[in-house]
Amino acid sequence: MVIARPFRPEDEADVVRMRKVAFGNQSPDWATPASTWWGVVAEDGDGVCGSLRAWNYRQFFGGVAVPMAGVASVTVDPHARGRGVAGALLVKSLERMRAEGQVVSTLFAATPPLYRAYGWERVGALETVTLPPAAFGWVAKPGEPTPLRRAREADLAEVHQLYLDIASTVDGMLDRSGPLFDITKILTLDTVDVVDGLRGFCSSSRRPHSETLDVYDIVARDADAGRALLAALATWSGQVDQICLRRFDPLIWDLLLSLPGHHTTAVEPIMLRIVDFAAAVAARGWPEGLPDFAVDLDIADEHAPWNAGKHRLVHESGKTRLEAGGDGEVRMTARALAAWYAGAATIADLNRAGLADGRAPLLDLASRAPRRLSIADSY
């Protein structure tokens, strides 16, 4: 008999032991302030045999930062695997997320079938692109160079605001708020360069014992600022063999950087679950200019039964809400609901996958499907 219950401080030794076995490392950050996370453990007759942790994050959807539970460190003792322990942890965690007001949950999955079985679905990725420094030489514009300078402590509030202004336009990005994110830590990196007038910044560190530069963020308000930051990366030619950047700012990635035909992208898929459907609809932003509509949905969700049943999604005078009732015109599983909310799949494709049944083109208009979420922080 397996019981899942809240993590208590006296469980720490068991959790650290299990993490070491599962992931091959200790977990020094298990001591981070309790306000930033909560945990669930599973017990069988022999004691604690499984655990997970959920971080308190906020993630942008439609320009609004939505409370999100970032699930990590899902671990089951080897002797207890294959008996539903991880499933029990996930089901318990859904109850806690709902109680905490974490209306959606995302995670980086080493074992996607486990999370799909409990309603998470792949919706995007953290992408890291590796390029030779010479690839950045093609962005400079002839004429006056745009001056860069080192960031100072007094710049940090504006640096964070610049990050927020751009990140809020990219669904899936974290708002990096709260005690988990200390903006002053950015100054411990090798370089944080800003464009005069705080029109852009680039943070990076040389990777120890490697001819690699890791760029953490490269963000710009305008094209000249973006070009200046990218062109500065070309100056690493001869010093490093490769520059690794996390994909994020659409101006930098899609419009300024000339990606060579052959390059390597590391993709870490991210999966999303809708924890509380009505609250998740209310919490996020929706595209401007949507026509008024009402679509009746019938949701199957055995692990979060409060989401299950018939609902009407109503968009009226620029506001979107979920009401109980309707005739269930479009049927969706929990996985389909996640993919739809993120815009990661069209309703037609969800039908083809056997995850939805029924058509309503306005659902795709509302979710702006098909597209992919981006995130630039791992956990």
Ligand X SMILES: CC(C)(COP(=O)(O)OP(=O)(O)OC[C@H]1O[C@@H](n2cnc3c(N)ncnc32)[C@H](O)[C@@H]1OP(=O)(O)O)[C@@H](O)C(=O)NCCC(=O)NCCS
Chain centre to alpha carbon of residue 333: 21
Which of 41, 66, 68, 85 forms a contact with ligand X (CB under 6 A)? 85
Which of 25, 111, 184, 188 forms a contact with ligand X (CB under 6 A)? 111
| 51 near ligand X, judged by CB under 6 A | no
| 117 near ligand X, judged by CB under 6 A | yes
Helix (H, G, I), strand (E, B) or coil at 111: coil
Which of 4, 86, 94, 360 forms a contact with ligand X (CB under 6 A)? 86
Q: Following DSSP, what letter does each residue of 158-174 receive, concatenated? A: HHHHHHHHHHTTSTT-B
| 68 near ligand X, judged by CB under 6 A | no
- Of 51 and 102, which has the nearer Cβ to ligand X? 51
Which of 113, 143, 238, 289 forms a contact with ligand X (CB under 6 A)? 113
Q: Are strands 330-333 and 373-374 parallel, antiparallel or unpaired?
A: unpaired
Which of 104, 109, 283, 376 forms a contact with ligand X (CB under 6 A)? 109
| 82 near ligand X, judged by CB under 6 A | yes
| 22 near ligand X, judged by CB under 6 A | yes
Angle (nearest 5°) at CA 371 between 366 and 374: 115
Residue 377 CA to residue 174 CA, distance in Å, equals: 7
With contacts defined by CB under 6 A, name the span among 73-81, 222-230, 258-266, 269-277 that binds ligand X: 73-81
Total residues in contact with ligand X, by rule CB under 6 A:
17
Burial track 232-253 (b if 16+ CB lie within 10 A, e otherwise): bbbebeeebebbbbbbbbebbb
Residue 127 CA to residue 123 CA, distance in Å, equals: 13
Residue 67 CA to residue 284 CA, distance in Å, equals: 10
Q: From residue 173, how far is each of 22, 70, 218, 268, 276 by CA, in Å? A: 28, 12, 14, 14, 20
Residue 344 CA to residue 122 CA, distance in Å, equals: 8
With contacts defined by CB under 6 A, name the span among 81-89, 137-145, 178-186, 279-287 that binds ligand X: 81-89
Site string for ligand X, 334-353 (x = CB under 6 A): --------------------
- Of 72 and 220, which has the nearer Cβ to ligand X? 72
| 75 near ligand X, judged by CB under 6 A | yes
Q: In angstroms, give the least distance from the CB of 281 to ligand X.
A: 28
Q: Tell me the backbone φ, ψ of residue 328, rounded to 5 degrees.
A: 65, 40
| 83 near ligand X, judged by CB under 6 A | yes
- The residues binding ligand X (CB under 6 A) are 22, 74-76, 81-87, 109-111, 113-114, 117
